[in-house]
Chain A
Amino acid sequence: MLPLVRPGRAAAPLRRLCRRILLLSSSPQTPSPSSSSSPYSTKISPLLLLLSPRPSPASGGAWRWRGVSSCAVRAVDVGGEAASTSSDLSSPYLSVRIRCRKEDAEVLSEGLLCFGATSVTVDDIAAAGNLDEITITSIYAHGEDVDSSVSNAASSAGLEYKPVYETSVGKQCDWVTVVQETYESTKVINGLWVIPKWRTPPDPQAINIIINPGLAFGTGEHPTTKLCLLLLRETVKGGERLLDYGTGTGVLGIAALKMGAALSTGIDIDPQAVTSACENMMLNEENKPTGGLELKSSKGSYDIVAANILLNPLLELVEDIIGYAKPGGIVAVSGILTEQVPKVEEAYSRYLENISVSEIDGWACLQGSRKA
């Protein structure tokens, strides 16, 4: 179910606006001109996030909003189904610890996976030393019948005994926060850092992008993020308009603004990503003027389009991605392995010239300028 149309608001605290999803009253029309049988163009509803740098206050504190910025978040209906298919991330799961004999561990794991477990973890067998028994931890979706699954697995594994086990309910947020604490500040290159929000920048003079990763992609550690940031460093001179296609945490959009771009727009099919990007934008003290921006009407107007996603979407959405760039504008695609480059090059060479490929660690980034 889509939320109702809401009129645009001139100024409102970020927190409230972030959670609103405004629906453009445009007719449902897929932005991709490619055939409508492509799975991506009919199912996605990209959520749009507009960023632009804080205007320098001409007259002192008149309109400096301390810690407050605004973003317009719009859901563009591209064909009817707007629901994201991502699973409910706050749902609990079942964690089952099973004890069994060491030699049965392997077969039992197979059985458990066969009968409904979604994951099976065996602590290092070597470390178990001389113990006869070993513990397997298995994860089930909430509501699964653990008992029958374990007994089926045991009988199919040929065990004569039924393993003893205990079940506990786990919550999503427990491990998300735990993993987050392991993030470190990442130096992309001299003078450019990506810092998790709970750490202090080691180099206050550098361009520091502050990120709260959450459940979105883009902490600066991954080679593809680095490749894109390096590319932005080279191409953003000042005053450009950037489109971050598949924005994740918004790291690329925010980086461009810090490097001098005039406007950054981020779109993503994952609502989690847009929430994360909004928050990160606030952390970096960027604000934007509200005001409608029809996604479709901005086609062909961006100086730089960056798409760090995956091979298949890149191939499916070639025309859509290229369409946003102005003639002569730069298009950069990443999230591809080195071995996948030829396919991407083949698809994009129809529209791009001056193609060059950069690589880090087996990951590649392909860039070119749009043919006139």
Chain B
Amino acid sequence: MATTLKDAVARKPVLATIRLIVPAGAARPAPPVGPALGFYRLNLMAFCKDFNARTQKYKAETPMQVTLTAYKDSTFEFVVKSPPVSWFLKKAAGIETASGRPGHNMVSSLTLRHVYEIAKLKQSDPYCKHMSIEALCKSIIGTANSMGIEIVKDL
């Protein structure tokens, strides 16, 4: 293991960062969890049990964003965040998939009101708490544009 100055600063050496989308309360050793964690020999069942227990308070099957940090000693930590903005947008717009050519093909439109509601939901996520509503709205509008969803003032 490298003994750089960075490692010496009380931080366990990180092997990889894994981002997943897992339905709340429904983590199983099947893909996506299985191969992603299995590749680094992490304890799958412990993750599934832990994740499922911590996401009991959410509506079942809601896709939650999970960021896992795998350390070189085969231990890991993970944080559970709210569902991705794209999921909220798809639900609000009632579409299944985003546009293949954003900017050229628009698949749906939403109003500023929708954006505001999503921003409020996102603010309850502890990882977005530091952002102002305005900043969140701008970020959501950006995501919507990259998905081919038009944001209009009124529908």
Residues of A within 8 A of B (CB): 39, 86-87, 89, 91, 93, 95, 109-111, 113-116, 118-127, 137, 139, 141, 148, 152, 155-157, 170, 172, 174-176, 178-179, 182, 213, 215, 217, 219, 221-222, 224, 310-312, 335-337, 340, 363
Contacts and interface: CB of A to CB of B under 8 A. Distances in A.
Interface stretch (B49-57, B119-127, B129-137): B49-57
A179 B41 contact: yes
Contact of B102 (A86, A119, A156, A172): A156
B84 A114 contact: yes
Nearest to B90: A114
B30 to A, nearest CB: 5
A222 B39 contact: no
B147 A89 contact: no
Contact of B32 (A114, A139, A215, A311): A139
Nearest to A156: B146
Contacts, number: 132
Interface string B106-125: 00000000000000000000
Given A87-B30, A139-B36, A174-B38, 8 more contacts: A87-B28, A93-B31, A118-B32, A121-B18, A122-B17, A126-B6, A172-B35, A310-B25
Contacts of A86: 28, 30
B21 A119 contact: yes
A95 B35 contact: yes
Contacts of A222: 45-46, 49
B60 interface: yes
A75 B84 CA distance: 38
Nearest to A92: B31
Given A118-B31, A119-B19, A139-B32, A340 B56 contact: yes
Contacts of B102: 155-156
B79 interface: no
A312 B147 contact: no
Given A123-B16, A139-B36, A114 B43 contact: no
Contacts of B38: 174-176, 178-179
29 contacts: A110-B84, A111-B146, A113-B19, A114-B143, A120-B18, A120-B20, A121-B18, A121-B36, A121-B39, A122-B19, A124-B14, A124-B15, A125-B17, A126-B14, A139-B32, A148-B100, A155-B102, A156-B102, A157-B146, A170-B35, A176-B34, A176-B38, A179-B37, A179-B38, A219-B45, A221-B43, A222-B45, A222-B46, A336-B53
A43 to B, nearest CB: 11
Given A121-B36, A311-B56, A109 B19 contact: yes
B100 A310 contact: no
Q: Is the interface of A mostly helix, strand, loop or mixed?
A: mixed
Q: How large is the interface on B (under 10, 10 to 19, 20 to 34, 35 or more residues)?
A: 35 or more
Residue with the greatest number of chain B CB neighbours at <10 A, chosen from A114, A137, A312: A114
Contacts of A137: 39
Contacts of B6: 126
A143 to B, nearest CB: 12
B42 interface: yes
A121 B20 CA distance: 8
Contacts of B93: none
A241 to B, nearest CB: 27
B147 A114 contact: yes
Given A148-B100, A179-B42, A337 B54 contact: yes
Contact of B29 (A115, A126, A174, A176): A176
A118 B20 contact: yes
Contacts of B39: 121, 137, 175
Contacts of A176: 29, 34, 38
Residue with the greatest number of chain A CB neighbours at <10 A, chosen from B17, B31, B53: B31
A217 B100 contact: no
A182 B41 contact: yes
Q: Which 5 residue pairs spanning A and B have beta carbons closest together?
A: A175-B38, A118-B32, A156-B146, A119-B32, A311-B56
